Structure 1
Amino acid sequence: MDGRVITPDELAQAQRFGDLVPVYKVDERTVVKTGDCVRLAEAEALKLVREKTTIPVPEVYNAYTDSDTGHVRIVMEFIEGDRLDDVWDKLDNDQKKEVIEQLRDFISQLREIKGSFIGSVDSTACEDQLFTDEIGGYGPYKDEESFNVGIATAVKRTLTGSWADTVTNMVMALRNHDIVMTHGAFHPRQECFVFQISRGTAISAKLPACPIFSNIFQPQFTIMTSSTSKSPVYSPPLTLPPPQTHKTTLIILHGRRSTAQKFAEPLLTHPVSPVSTVTSSTSSELSDSSKAFRDYFPHTKFVFPTAPLRRAVVFKRSLTHQWFDNWSLTQPELKQHLQIPGLRETSAYLHDLLRKEIEVVGAKNVVLMGLSQGCAASLIATLLWDGEAFGAAVGMCGYLPFRKGMAEAAEDARDGAEDPFEGSGDDEREDMLERDGEDAEGGETNFERAVEWLREELQASSEGGDDANKPLSMQSIPVFMGHGTEDEKVPCETGRLAAEFLSGIGVNVQWNEYEELGHWYSENMLRDVVTFLSGLKGWEDIVRVGK
């Protein structure tokens, strides 16, 4: 396709799209945009965006000036789909939010492309409703000051009166902005980029995504914008007060691409397998099998935080709710650097939530719990916690980021002493289980070395000061981890390695596997969570088991 030239006969027989700017469908794979207002700069912009971002724009096959008509012709890929303005009213709220989030990401990616001048990307003049070739040929400009003069000149040529003076004075006062790529006019006649939206229903959520595109993409020149660094925005958690006196708190994290609103109700109303309760030294009875998960916790406040929107590299940098970014769950060591900012920020956020609840009900009456990525974030936050040991950590279908790095750090720190992780690969965990209490020559335990390495890797400061005698919190925090053997997203072995590593550095971990269960919780897993929590000190008479 590269270098294709459209003949007059092909153009005459092509199907025309659009009214103001002629775009022709030449064949099933090709369209051509041509006319007296089309510029080669448009093709260069598309090529640059395709090269520098993950924004799905059409591939440009060729761009040239037709010798007979003098018109620029941009030959490019045809993408089948519906126009966004045609289908917008038919989309539900979730689908509209998906499109908006993708559009926000597209604009953010454009603004990450830095420029050394202000003009069209091929170093020709600016073109916009304000700047036109007929009036002076504005730009390109070497800096912000000359750009401001150009704007002021254009304003005074097209506007009169006090309003023109006001705008000119405002523009001339602008200083110290970055030069970035952006879009001058979002209008249906412009070029397109593709949105992917879910067309699935609650019954069949895995239907193929439908490409929706909007003809609104023609980034032709760079302009000024303020340079800002935005921290993730955490919305207020979904908080459900207990029906009876508040005595305990469960902070529960959803998985990637979910929210508190989506996650909370299915979990709280999910049925729980009958819970066995000891009634004497030799007998036991089963609790009411009709009870839902929440029914076991009449004195518990549930706190469901929502992960902020972050760019997911594996999803072409689209924005999604996630506690941290990561690349692969089957190969967790790949591109681990993606996890660092999110894990550091999420840990600090969870520590703040923990402290607030501990102030109300006491440390032993607060439990941190999570599913999938929420489990991973909870485990990291618990490892980094240096306050008073809270009640417990509960993980479902989860994993431990940087597990291998922590294990290797503990091994290397022995500085020539007998290897605490004798062997290699998965065999390392067997020897670790026997050596978690041994100190190296410097007096540090495996747990201390692992946490120190993790803190340095995440560049996470200690919130509890430099008190060398402070307790090792997670070694005093019991952990429950449950995992389905048929988990298709986070392999059961990945969760098992996390549990065995934590056990090996002195953490009290209860590990349960569930046959034929995929990447979710089940009645049996929730039963075991209830049983685990009812066995915590101070929770015995609070969790309603067999009552």
Structure 2
Amino acid sequence: MNFPASKIHHPQGSHTHTVILLHGRGSDGPEFAEDIFSSTASNGRSLSASLPTYRWVFPTSRDRWSTAFQEEMCSWFDAYSLGDIQARKDLQKDGLRESVLHILDILEAEARLLDGQLTRIYLGGISQGMATSLWTFFAAIGTGRIHGPLAGLLGFCGWLPFTQQLEELLYKSTATTPHNPDSPQIQRLVSGFFDEIIGHQASQDEKLVDLSILSTPVFLSHGTDDAWVSVDLGRQASQILRKIMPHVEWNEFTGAENDGHWIKQPDGFDRILQFFERSSTDFCPTNRPGGL
């Protein structure tokens, strides 16, 4: 089944950057866009108003069967339990494989609009959208479809699927420092992870991994009072990413809407804007050294 068209918010004037944001389970692209743009930072403006040259892309998942809820719902993959993310984890594989390949197609299409400048593209999501965007990032590495770092990777109130398996691979790789992404251990890890868990059969060309993608800056945030996705899952995701990536920022907060399962206003949106400002400056040619 095909995925629905993405909700697009076009830039005002010149197009300098693209942000791809994935919704949570039970939501969709248009609804997530409306929620994001109805929220404001301390300047009283939304993200789109604060960044008028940015193109915003909100993909929508297709409907799929939820084993937990016993009904069809808009979701990136079938997540059986958020209390125990290891429970019936194999149910996630088909949806993750399908969804991340779809998001990779979108990422590549956006890169073409920016003349191949990946350092002007951000990828992220909330809740299950965060889980899917992180896996899309791993897929970009594992399949070799993305060459070079992105502008940034963002995640809100979410988790990382297959954390136990990834931690085991990290332990076996002996890659204990995030400041050595060119090590052979890291290369074996990132090139084989997507193949091993998802079952994608990479071609020889795909296995030629450009590990500079690991220098992509990461911003993760989570409410400590999140009633839907435990903050411990977000902490776990940040800890794992810090073992393989040098620039991972973690932010905790309290008092957000939706029982803590949202981005806190205005502080959280201030932090997002600050992340955009820092990462876009870092990658400037005049500054760069090289739902649920």
Shorter chain as normaliser: what TM range? 0.7 to 0.9
Offset, 1:296:
1.1
Q: Alignment partner for residue 301 of structure 1, among 52, 55, 60?
A: 55
Counterpart position of 1:249: 18
Gaps of 5+ in 1: 1-231, 274-288, 415-419, 421-431, 542-547
Q: Is the 8 A contact 2:178 2:245 kept in 1?
A: no
Offset, 1:540:
8.7
Matched, 1:522 2:261: no
Counterpart position of 2:220: 481
Matched, 1:367 2:122: yes
Counterpart position of 2:252: 513
Identical-pair percentage: 27
Counterpart position of 2:288: none
Matched, 1:410 2:170: yes
Q: How does 1:115-514 map to 2 (within 5 A)?
A: 232-273=1-42, 289-316=43-70, 318-361=71-114, 362-385=117-140, 386=144, 387-388=146-147, 389-412=149-172, 432=176, 434=177, 437=180, 444-446=184-186, 448-449=188-189, 451-462=191-202, 465-466=205-206, 468=208, 470-514=209-253
TM-score, normalisation: structure 1: 0.47
Q: Is the 8 A contact 2:224 2:253 kept in 1?
A: yes
235-244 vs 444-453, which moves further? 444-453
Offset, 1:539:
8.0
Amino acid at match of 2:278: G
Counterpart position of 2:280: 537
Q: Is the 8 A contact 2:66 2:73 kept in 1?
A: yes
1 CA distance for matches of 2:136 and 2:99?
Answer: 8
Compare CA radii of gyration and give the structure with the larger one: 1
Amino acid at match of 2:108: R
**2:111 partner SS:** helix
Offset, 1:515:
2.4
1:513–1:402 distance in 2 versus 1, CA, 3 Å? same
Q: How does 1:22-171 map to 2 (within 5 A)?
A: none
1 CA distance for matches of 2:204 and 2:112?
Answer: 16
What is the CA deviation profile of residues 459-499 of structure 1, one whole-angstrom value per residue up to 9, with x for unaligned ones?
1244782454x421541211110100101111111101110
Q: Is the 8 A contact 1:330 1:489 kept in 2?
A: no
1 CA distance for matches of 2:276 and 2:12?
Answer: 19
Q: Is the 8 A contact 2:66 2:72 kept in 1?
A: yes
1 CA distance for matches of 2:68 and 2:191?
Answer: 28
Q: How does 1:4-19 map to 2 (within 5 A)?
A: none
Offset, 1:510:
0.6
What is the CA deviation profile of residues 19-76 of structure 1, one whole-angstrom value per residue up to 9, with x for unaligned ones?
xxxxxxxxxxxxxxxxxxxxxxxxxxxxxxxxxxxxxxxxxxxxxxxxxxxxxxxxxx
**1:346 partner SS:** helix
1:539–1:410 distance in 2 versus 1, CA, 3 Å? closer
2 CA distance for matches of 1:332 and 1:536?
Answer: 31
What is the CA deviation profile of residues 279-330 of structure 1, one whole-angstrom value per residue up to 9, with x for unaligned ones?
xxxxxxxxxx3222221111011111111000000001x1100011111112
Amino acid at match of 1:363: L
Q: Which structure's relative contact order is higher, taking Cα pairs within 8 Å and 6+ residues apart?
A: 2
Q: Give aligned pairs, total.
A: 273
Amino acid at match of 2:29: A
Q: Is the 8 A contact 2:221 2:250 kept in 1?
A: yes
1 CA distance for matches of 2:134 and 2:201?
Answer: 17
1 CA distance for matches of 2:49 and 2:252?
Answer: 24
Amino acid at match of 1:465: D
Amino acid at match of 2:194: L
Give 1 or 2: higher helix fraction.
2
Amino acid at match of 1:240: H
Q: Is the 8 A contact 1:308 1:321 kept in 2?
A: yes
1 CA distance for matches of 2:204 and 2:49?
Answer: 36
2 CA distance for matches of 1:504 and 1:349?
Answer: 27
Q: Is the 8 A contact 1:250 1:302 kept in 2?
A: yes
**1:489 partner SS:** coil
2 CA distance for matches of 1:459 and 1:487?
Answer: 33
Q: Is the 8 A contact 1:437 1:445 kept in 2?
A: no
Q: Is the 8 A contact 2:178 2:242 kept in 1?
A: no
1:309–1:537 distance in 2 versus 1, CA, 3 Å? same
**1:445 partner SS:** helix
Could you list the structure 1 runs, at least 4 aligned residues long, displaced by more than 6 angstroms after superposition. Answer: none
Gaps of 5+ in 2: 285-292
Amino acid at match of 1:247: T
383-392 vs 487-496, which moves further? 383-392
Q: Is the 8 A contact 1:253 1:374 kept in 2?
A: yes
**2:280 partner SS:** coil
1:333–1:445 distance in 2 versus 1, CA, 3 Å? same
Amino acid at match of 1:265: E
Offset, 1:413:
5.0
* RMSD, aligned CA: 2.3
